[in-house]
């Protein structure tokens, strides 16, 4: 990267490497500039310190490290989340799950929510931010991820309504919930080496690897779902773009009915909404 000296030159250079929104984000993080500065002060000189920091950012980007991991934060559902090497980088597709839950619940009810494999806590925390009378528990096998989730709960002002538990799925759970949500690892082991560097190098393998068939986490979840989900509760699972048929089969074999499927921005089935067979007539 040549060394741009002005706001407009730096902005132009950044847009050669990233989207317009990301270019503005970098300017804000490294140079303290917002969009109004691009309009009102385009010829302002940028400090050498800011330029050098941005050069380092671009080098990391070229190595596949996403901006979220460079800056340690990511926006999700309009909220700001801390992310680390121990947490999955929240994706826009996962907002489909949050939207599906909110579409089907009474926001004034005192709901209980379980998030299996909570990671950064983005799903649970986003739901609690929209459901003022709800409480939740986030479960994960990673102590580091749970520490980040707790930080994010405080950051987004819902810490008093949630707790986080170190557990291998349901192992240490002793209660049942109105809603169960999960974005489990669902990528087949053999596919992981083919993923983009931003994923395979910078997202934790525990959050990606779904075993030989990509279904190992779902099998574990369905084996415990009747215990952790209340009889008239619902569960919402993110799935891979091509897993609708196989996860639906697992659901039926476990005596759960598909209430509805929800598509992501690309039109792929991304979330399955399920309930116990005996309550499927209530939908």
Could you say which DSSP state residue 201 is in? T
Does pLDDT of 279 surpass 90? no
Q: Going by C-beta distance under 8 Å and a sequence separation of 6 or more, which residues neighbour residue 223?
A: 254
> Which 3 state secondary structure label does DSSP give 153?
helix
Looking up tokens 């190595």, which residue turns up?
Answer: 63
Host H or E run for residue 26: helix 20-26
CATH 1.10.8.350 correct for 86-282: no
Does pLDDT of 273 surpass 90? yes
Pick the more confident residue, 103 or 1.
103
What confidence tens digit (pLDDT) does each residue in 248-262 have?
999 999 999 999 999
**Structure-token pair, residue 60:** 């990391």
Residue 277: per-residue pLDDT: 84
Distances (CA, A) of 39 to 6, 20, 66, 161: 12, 14, 27, 43
Q: How far apart are CA 26 and CA 10, in angstroms?
A: 10
Q: How far apart are CA 94 and CA 150, in angstroms?
A: 20
Count Cβ neighbours within 10 Å for each residue of 245-279 and write b for 16 or more, e otherwise: eebbebbeebebbbbebbebeeeebbbbbbbbeeb
Strand partners, 274: 235, 258
Residue 281: per-residue pLDDT: 59
Mean pLDDT value of segment 236-257? 96
Distances (CA, A) of 200 to 204, 206, 263: 8, 11, 25
Q: How far apart are CA 95 and CA 264, in angstroms?
A: 9
Answer whether 20's CB lies under 8 Å from 27's CB. no
CA angle 145, 177, 106 (to 5 degrees): 105
> How many CB atoms are located within 10 Å of the residue 84 CB?
17
Q: Which of 268, 266, 207, 267 minimizes the C-alpha distance to 240?
A: 268
Residue 2: per-residue pLDDT: 55
> How many CB atoms are located within 10 Å of the residue 206 CB?
15
Q: Going by C-beta distance under 8 Å and a sequence separation of 6 or more, which residues neighbour residue 78?
A: none
> How many CB atoms are located within 10 Å of the residue 196 CB?
11
What confidence tens digit (pLDDT) does each residue in 184-233 have?
999 999 999 999 998 999 999 999 999 999 999 999 999 999 999 999 99
What confidence tens digit (pLDDT) does each residue in 11-36 have?
999 999 999 999 999 999 999 999 89
Answer whether 77's CB lies under 8 Å from 71's CB. no
> Which 3 state secondary structure label does DSSP give 163?
strand
pTM of the predicted structure, to 2 decimals: 0.93
Does pLDDT of 3 surpass 90? no
Count Cβ neighbours within 10 Å for each residue of 59-71 and write b for 16 or more, e otherwise: eebeeebbbbbbe
What confidence tens digit (pLDDT) does each residue in 115-174 have?
999 999 999 999 999 999 999 999 999 999 999 999 999 999 999 999 999 999 999 999
What confidence tens digit (pLDDT) does each residue in 88-122 have?
999 999 999 999 999 999 999 999 999 999 999 99
Mean pLDDT value of segment 60-82? 95
Calculated CA dihedral for residues 232, 141, 250, 88, nearest 10 degrees: 100
**Displacement of CA 269 from its chain's centroid (Å):** 17
Strand partners, 113: 136, 179
Does pLDDT of 283 surpass 50? no
């Amino acid at each position: 990267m040549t060394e741009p000296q002005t706001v407009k030159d730096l902005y132009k250079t950044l847009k050669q490497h990233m989207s317009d929104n990301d270019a503005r984000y970098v300017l804000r993080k490294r140079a303290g500039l917002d969009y109004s500065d691009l309009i009102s002060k385009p010829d302002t000189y940028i400090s050498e310190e800011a330029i050098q920091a941005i050069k380092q950012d671009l080098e990391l980007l070229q190595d596949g490290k996403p901006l979220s991991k460079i800056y340690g934060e990511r926006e999700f559902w309009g909220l700001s989340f801390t992310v680390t090497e121990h947490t999955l980088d929240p994706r826009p597709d996962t907002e489909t799950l949050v939207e599906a839950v909110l579409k089907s619940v009474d926001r004034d009810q005192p709901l209980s929510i379980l998030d299996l494999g909570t990671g950064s806590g983005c799903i649970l925390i986003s739901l609690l931010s929209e459901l003022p009378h709800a409480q939740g528990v986030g479960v994960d096998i990673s102590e580091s991820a749970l520490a980040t989730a707790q930080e994010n709960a405080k950051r987004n002002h819902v810490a008093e309504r949630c707790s986080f538990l170190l557990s291998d799925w349901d192992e240490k759970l002793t209660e049942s919930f109105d809603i169960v949500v999960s974005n489990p690892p669902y990528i087949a082991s053999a596919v992981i080496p083919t993923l983009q560097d931003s994923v395979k190098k910078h997202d934790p393998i525990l959050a990606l690897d779904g075993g030989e068939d990509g279904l190992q986490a779902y099998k574990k979840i369905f084996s415990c779902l009747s215990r952790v989900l209340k009889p008239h509760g619902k569960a919402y699972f993110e799935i891979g773009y091509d897993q609708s048929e196989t996860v639906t089969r697992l659901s039926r074999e476990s005596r759960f009915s598909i209430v509805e499927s929800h598509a992501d921005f690309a039109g792929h089935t991304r979330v399955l909404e399920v309930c116990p067979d005996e309550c499927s007539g209530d939908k």
